[in-house]
Amino acid sequence: MPNMTLSHFEAAFLFALLVSVVMGIVTKSNDRDRLHYGIYTFACFMVALFGLGWLMYLGHG
């Protein structure tokens, strides 16, 4: 099994992408809503990722 080394950002991005796809599929009842919810979930992940990243950066001093 090949080894995969990802940075924090790459791992979090991949995680957000895959979770958003599944969340979009299982929560809504038509394709349009699924796409919108998947994009919304992914955007929320990105906002949290960058927000917490900056918070930790600024909090660390």
Partner 1 sequence: MAVKEKEVKQPLPPLGTWAPALALSWLIPGGGHFLLKRTGRGVLLLLSITTMFICGLMMRGYMFQPQTGDLLTTLINTGGFVGDIASGILYLLTTWLGYNQQDMPGMGHDYGTKFLVTAGLLNILAMVDAFEIAAGRKN
Name the CA radius of gyration of the chain, rounded: 15
Helices of type H across the chain? 8-27, 31-60
- Report in angstroms how near the CB of residue 34 gets to partner 1 at its nearest: 8
Kindly state the tokens that stand for 8.
């924090």
Q: Is 2 in the site for partner 1 (CB under 8 A)?
A: yes
User: Which residue stretch of 5-13, 44-52, 53-61 sits at the interface with partner 1 (rule: CB under 8 A)?
Assistant: 5-13
Kindly state the tokens that stand for 16.
């957000």
Interface residue list for partner 1 (CB under 8 A):
1-6, 8, 11, 14-15, 18-19, 21-23, 25-26, 29-30
